Structure 1
Amino acid sequence: MADENFDEYLAKLEELGLSPYEAKAYLGLIRGGEITAIQVSEISGVPKTRVYDVLMTLERKGFCQSHPGKVTKYLAISPEIALKGYLETMKQQLTETINRRVSTANFLMEKLKDIGGQYVRDTPAAEYVWVLKDPNAIAASYADTARAAVSEIITLEKAPYAPSEVQYFATFEALEKGVKVRSIYQSDPESLNPKIIQLVKILHRKGGDIRFIENVPSKFALFDEKEVWLALEDPLSFRHDFVALVIKHLGAVRPFKELFERLYADAIPYEQMEKLF
């Protein structure tokens, strides 16, 4: 696909939320017209072993249609229709997600306030639940929390990643002073950009316990089983901006720890995935 603007189009489609293979396949369909999956693979560079599931995903997202026959062919939906529909769906999903999680947080604040000790009952909610929106403030505060950890840091990571070296370096410092660090990442190599791969490799070399699973349900970090940082995508941003919901409450932290342990038990160790990087 020779086009001097190809890389720019690819990057913009990925910025909207398509995977690299999905973006390449869609551009291939635009270029090729009504074509077979094998032709999509040849035009776009998407591996033949992946092109069928990529096309199924594109069809589900509204970027193409399949025409059954002796050989199934695929045709791109026009960018104007596909992108408008995709953005509307994304807006709805993100709005539903943030509303659901805000509702959950409000529920927890109301229901958990009476199960702790006297100190917790007498503490205003604003003192144990807060939201950080500025990326620099999130990175700096996260780093301070990681450096203050004394026993364990556990994280559940998923794309889209917004890796901050400040946060990772603070985690490296925690490892060096004996804090146990365990992290679970999404196993799809496409989701791991070069920067995050480099940081994960360093984390492993310094003693971090890294594992992988196919489907990561949420994105959070726990510190000493006392504090949880929950990453929420900003529904008003299409640049994968995040806000951080921070909760210092044992009742709120416990379910996240239990979820992590269930996923960790079945996750793939770093050593079995290293060859894919």
Structure 2
Amino acid sequence: MPDPASLALLGLTSYEAQAYLALLGRPRLSPAEVAALAKIPRQRVYDVLESLTAKGLCLIREDSPKSYAALEPGQALEMLGQERLTELERERARTRAAVTALTEELGPIFLAGKGQNDPLAYVEVLAGAARIGHRALLLAGAARARVNSCVRRPLILSPDQNTAFMEVPLARGLCYRALYEEAALDDPLLRGWIDDLSGRGLVVRLIRELPLKMQAFDDEVVLVSMQDPTAGEPGFTAVVIRNRGMVAMMNLAFEHLWESARPYVG
């Protein structure tokens, strides 16, 4: 017997799923028989069967007493699935509209708050790969002239995120330089990735060892990622710093490492 919870993906409640599965196994059932087989309270079964009928999953047989029969799954579930997809698309549209409206409403509040004198407003601490990845992609998309990057394993972003992180600025013709540790070439997947992006404009040099992960975007912001030494699995904390003095210092450190590194030849 299928798990009733699997029908929840199509928008059925637990009672509706149990009732439909019970109906599938018999030519027809009375409400009392559905309640007994599906373990639904008698006072609820009539509402459940009416809902299944409205959703096109069962038919009413005008017997005496009244009975119900399941509609063939291929027909019933296809129709229900289409309705569910339509509703999800409406929900996406409502979500997009809400994001747009809230952005327009909250943006002025944020800009007004930027005028407050907060000495730590330029520092943002991020924990977890998902948050770091999301912010990294936003920063890469906002870069205007150049990105300086120090890359070392283990990587925080997924392969798709890493590709997008570099493809976005490369597609806009930015100067993108990346320092990799020489050991990175031992990873065939990573080496193939470097070869691919090098052909799209990424300038790569190799160095024996890097102290940390770092990406500097123009002269405005730097993202520094550090592995958590206490985590059993790879865990990271990242710091986003919007301070021109700090970014200048990190870019100077990058230039020093860049001069001592050797060019990568794929």
Q: Shorter chain as normaliser: what TM range?
A: 0.5 to 0.7
Q: Tell me how far apart the structure 1 counterparts of residues 212 and 140 of structure 2 sit (CA, whole Å).
A: 20
- TM-score (normalizing by structure 2): 0.53
The residue aligned with 1:218 is 212
Unaligned runs of 5+ in 2: 1-113
Map 1:5-20 → 2, pairs under 5 A: none
Matched pairs, number:
153
Same amino acid, percent of matched pairs? 25
The residue aligned with 1:141 is 135
The residue aligned with 1:178 is 173
The residue aligned with 2:191 is 197
Counterpart selection for 2:125 from 106, 112, 131? 131
**2:161 is aligned with 1:166:** yes
Give the structure with higher Rg (CA): 2
Report the secondary structure of 2:135's partner residue: helix
Unaligned runs of 5+ in 1: 1-119
Counterpart selection for 1:259 from 237, 253, 258? 253
Contact 1:161–1:196 under 8 Å retained in 2: no
The residue aligned with 1:206 is 200
TM-fit CA distance, 1:159: 2.5
Q: Tell me how far apart the structure 2 counterparts of residues 162 and 134 of structure 1 sit (CA, whole Å).
A: 9
Q: Tell me how far apart the structure 2 counterparts of residues 210 and 170 of structure 1 sit (CA, whole Å).
A: 15
Q: Tell me how far apart the structure 2 counterparts of residues 168 and 231 of structure 1 sit (CA, whole Å).
A: 18
C-alpha distance 123-180 of structure 1, shift in aligned 2 (>3 A)? farther
TM-fit CA distance, 1:161: 2.7
C-alpha distance 260-121 of structure 1, shift in aligned 2 (>3 A)? farther
Out of 260-269 and 170-179, give the one that drifted further: 170-179
The residue aligned with 1:57 is none
Q: Tell me how far apart the structure 1 counterparts of residues 188 and 227 of structure 2 sit (CA, whole Å).
A: 22
Map 1:41-190 → 2, pairs under 5 A: 123-164=117-158, 165-189=160-184
Contact 1:142–1:167 under 8 Å retained in 2: no
- TM-score (normalizing by structure 1): 0.51
The residue aligned with 1:240 is 234
Report the secondary structure of 1:203's partner residue: helix
1:98-154 Cα deviation digits (max 9, x unpaired): xxxxxxxxxxxxxxxxxxxxxx99641442101111211211111011011110011
Where relative contact order (Cα < 8 A, 6+ residues apart) is larger, the structure is: 1
Contact 1:175–1:206 under 8 Å retained in 2: yes
**2:225 is aligned with 1:231:** yes
